[in-house]
Homo-oligomer: A and B are copies of this chain.
């Protein structure tokens, strides 16, 4: 083993000199393009590869990217820190899928971590520099997505895909990969209807994010289609789960509640018990998100296939990178329902 430290990284020209060929011959052999390499006879190729080994040549990715517009590097950018604990497990599964799939198809992954602003929020642009463009394309994710950044990226023509649906003014169709909240929420309503439930309610979170809109549309459409009734605290107005509404629910004909979050479901459960009602004996409950380990009940809930979504995002991104003119529609990944013990058939 050589223990001499080099002062300068060798380039193809150095390899060429040692092998007694031209730089372009080296490029053709190194580049891996089978057609080009095939035109170089075996022994020349062998000489070149030996010189590569001898010098410890490694390609310069920046030069390659400059020339090729591509370096088989995909970025991952989160709009919030990945590491701080609260959201960590939220990102984790996405990242697993992303990493897994990227590796399968031979892409390297770069995780952009620096926070642009001082406020912990992350921005793509830092004093005018799009930091992402070392990578061929980037997967964006995060609930606190910065829409201005998204719009600008789209205008620049930079290849990216967003996990989760985002509607951005000025960027008509940004490519997203989204869980099928619309479909699964409809399925859930159907399942409840099949169990005999005719009178439902829907508990909404205070946030006005696109994913919630999908769920609400899915629920609303299904209620209408199936001829059910709905008495929700502000399905089309204010969110809320106040005492007055709980009283109303306890007295009314509703036998099933769909809750957007585990938090809401737990609050509902407490409210019902305080009124002498129980789940699922009196009211069936379904939660429209994954539930944590701290849940007090085995909630019937929907499962977001995060790992699959991560994988799908990589595939879609690569497609966009390969063909930048591609008009990708949103990719919808089906969700499934995880059986719990919080729904039951309607008592006569």
Contact = CB atoms under 8 A, between A and B. Distances in A.
Nearest to A126: B108
A19 to B, nearest CB: 16
A56 B103 contact: no
Contact of A156 (B58, B92, B102, B110): B58
A129 to B, nearest CB: 6
Contact of A6 (B1, B62, B156): B156
A80 to B, nearest CB: 13
Given A73-B134, A113-B99, A114-B102, A3 B83 contact: no
Contact size class for A?
A: 35 or more
A7 interface: yes
A4 interface: yes
Interface in A152-172: 152, 154-158, 169-172
Given A102-B114, A108-B114, A109-B114, 20 more contacts: A1-B151, A3-B155, A3-B172, A6-B155, A6-B156, A7-B157, A59-B129, A60-B133, A61-B129, A61-B133, A62-B71, A62-B134, A83-B96, A83-B99, A95-B113, A99-B113, A109-B112, A110-B111, A110-B134, A134-B134
